[in-house]
């Protein structure tokens, strides 16, 4: 198992729009492509409260590449994502890391 941690750094005031997009659009596409989420979090205390952090579970990097690329290339996803940013951009930058559990991790 591999866990992908993604952090979306939003433009000021745009975190509600990102949350709305995940709730009403993105999660349906994740389901369509078999992308399994572990959870989503916003930052209460930290360097910025304009961030959304989430974790995705993958069996391998090959699985991730196949499913993520199909999702990203979906014309309907592209259309809906662009529509949510018609007024102004939501996400300024994205960070992601791929994490492997240790032998003593509760989640393996």
pLDDT at 108: 77
Of 37, 44, 50, residue with least CA distance to 8: 50
Region of 85 on the Ramachandran plot (φ > 0 left; ψ -120 to 50 alpha; else beta):
alpha
CATH 1.10.287.1260 for the 2-99 domain, yes or no: no
Whole-prediction pTM value?
A: 0.92
Instruction: Report the half-sphere exposure of 98 (CA within 13 A, side-chain side).
Output: 10
- Mean pLDDT, range 63-78, rounded to an integer: 98
> End-to-end CA distance of the chain, in Å?
6
Evaluate if residue 10 carries a pLDDT over 80.
Answer: yes
């Amino acid at each position: 198992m591999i866990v992908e941690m993604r952090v979306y750094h939003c433009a000021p005031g745009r975190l509600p729009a990102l949350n709305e997009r995940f709730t009403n659009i993105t999660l349906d596409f994740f389901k369509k492509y078999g992308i399994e989420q572990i959870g989503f979090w916003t930052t209460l205390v930290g360097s910025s409260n304009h961030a959304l952090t989430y974790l995705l579970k993958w069996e391998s990097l090959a699985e991730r590449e196949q499913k993520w690329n199909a999702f990203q290339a979906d014309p309907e996803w592209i259309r809906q994502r662009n529509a949510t940013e018609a007024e102004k951009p939501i996400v300024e930058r994205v960070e992601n890391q791929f994490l492997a559990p240790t032998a003593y991790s509760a989640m393996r």
